[in-house]
């Protein structure tokens, strides 16, 4: 499923967790609300917990057990959020009409993602290799550049990943290791070749190194000045960047 489709379904049209509020208001039962929303009973409970944890005040008031698997109703705050959600639904046509092209929504989805990771690379899933409890996810970046991520199989299912799914790969700057162009990389690691565009020295601690990749994307790494000197790495010099697949986090729209 493409990122624009995901955006129109989950951000503009029916974000599933918030839509569950409407089902609870209509059904008055967690069991019936889950069935109406197309969720498992456990998924509905998990969603309610997440909603209550994210809100300043509980949105759902519930009673455990009883007829129908436990009663549930919206609090006054939950009713207010539901009204806001219904207004958002009413705006969906205007938002979709305002997008001149499907790629507009694709771009907005990537730009609105907020994360502490310095490196955010847009790509799509091209392969999923099951390795027991983990999956190795093959990603294709812009201009055919590739890398692998290793995540749990449960995460693959939760993110609904499949061939063609568009994702954002997140990599912290401290997880990147810089190598000289002729230095051997660790087997099994991702290796990307690039050019050092800028080195920002810190008064105390590692330097920040900006690396331009052949596809036009940029990586930010942290490296000790002594390491850079020993590897002959300097501005405008070629560099190899290695990082473990397990250090690649994947993000998709809600």
DSSP secondary structure string for all residues of 157-181: HHTT--TT-EEEEEE-GGG-EEE-T
Domain boundary, last residue among 104, 127, 156:
104
Q: What is the mean pLDDT of residues 67-87?
A: 79
Q: What is the mean pLDDT of residues 193-199?
A: 93
**Judgement on whether residues 163 and 214 belong to the same structural domain of the protein:** no
Q: What is the mean pLDDT of residues 166-171?
A: 90
DSSP3 helix / strand / coil % (the chain, rounded to 5) = 40, 30, 30
pLDDT given at position 3: 39
The CATH number assigned to the domain holding 228 equals 2.40.50.100
Minimum mean pLDDT among 52-56, 72-76, 109-113, 194-198: which range?
109-113
| Number of domains, the chain | 3
Please give the mean pLDDT across all residues of the chain: 82
**Judgement on whether residues 160 and 71 belong to the same structural domain of the protein:** no
pLDDT band for position 116 (cuts 50, 70, 90): low
How far apart, in whole angstroms, are the C-alpha atoms of residue 152 and residue 210?
A: 30
**Judgement on whether residues 59 and 100 belong to the same structural domain of the protein:** yes
**Judgement on whether residues 137 and 189 belong to the same structural domain of the protein:** no
Helix (H) or strand (E) holding 52: helix 41-54
Residue at 249 is within a domain: no
**Judgement on whether residues 79 and 154 belong to the same structural domain of the protein:** no
**Judgement on whether residues 183 and 237 belong to the same structural domain of the protein:** yes
Could you list the residue range(s) of the whole structural domain that residue 96 is in? 3-104
Residue at 143 is within a domain: yes
**Judgement on whether residues 138 and 192 belong to the same structural domain of the protein:** no
pLDDT digits (tens, 9 = 90+) for 16-43: 778 889 899 999 888 899 999 888 887 8
Domain boundary, last residue among 136, 156, 171:
171
Q: Where are the beta strands (DSSP E) in the chain?
A: 60-62, 72-74, 119-131, 134-141, 146-152, 166-171, 177-179, 190-200, 207-212, 218-223, 238-243, 249-251
pLDDT digits (tens, 9 = 90+) for 36-50: 988 888 788 778 877
pLDDT given at position 253: 65
**Judgement on whether residues 79 and 17 belong to the same structural domain of the protein:** yes
Residue at 76 is within a domain: yes
**Judgement on whether residues 89 and 132 belong to the same structural domain of the protein:** no
pLDDT given at position 237: 96
**Judgement on whether residues 134 and 80 belong to the same structural domain of the protein:** no
Residue at 205 is within a domain: yes
The CATH number assigned to the domain holding 97 equals 1.10.10.10
Residue at 252 is within a domain: no
188: left (phi over 0), alpha (psi -120 to 50) or beta: left
Residue at 253 is within a domain: no
pLDDT given at position 87: 76
**Judgement on whether residues 230 and 203 belong to the same structural domain of the protein:** yes
pLDDT band for position 8 (cuts 50, 70, 90): very low
Residue at 251 is within a domain: no
């Amino acid at each position: 499923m493409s990122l624009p489709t995901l955006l129109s379904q989950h951000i503009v049209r029916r974000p599933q967790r918030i839509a569950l509020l409407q089902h609870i208001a209509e059904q008055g039962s967690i069991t019936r609300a889950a069935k109406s929303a197309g969720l498992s009973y456990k998924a509905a409970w998990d969603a309610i917990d997440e909603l209550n944890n994210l809100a300043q005040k509980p949105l759902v008031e519930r009673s455990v057990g009883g007829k129908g698997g436990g009663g549930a109703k919206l609090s006054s705050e939950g009713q207010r959020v539901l009204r806001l959600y219904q207004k958002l639904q009413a705006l969906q046509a205007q938002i979709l009409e305002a997008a001149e092209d499907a790629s507009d929504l694709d771009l907005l989805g990537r730009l609105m993602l907020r994360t502490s990771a310095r490196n955010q690379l847009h790509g799509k899933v091209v392969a999923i290799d099951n390795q027991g409890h983990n999956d190795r996810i093959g990603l294709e970046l812009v201009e055919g550049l590739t890398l692998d991520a290793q995540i749990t199989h449960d995460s693959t299912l939760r993110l609904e990943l499949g061939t063609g799914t568009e994702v954002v790969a997140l990599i912290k700057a401290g997880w990147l290791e810089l190598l000289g162009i002729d230095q051997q990389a660790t087997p099994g690691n991702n290796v990307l070749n690039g050019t050092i565009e800028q080195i920002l020295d810190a008064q105390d601690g590692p330097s920040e190194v900006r690396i331009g990749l052949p596809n036009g994307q940029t990586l930010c790494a942290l490296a000790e000045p002594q390491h850079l000197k020993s590897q002959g790495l300097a501005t405008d010099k070629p560099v190899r960047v290695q990082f473990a697949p397990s250090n690649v986090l994947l993000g998709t729209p809600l």
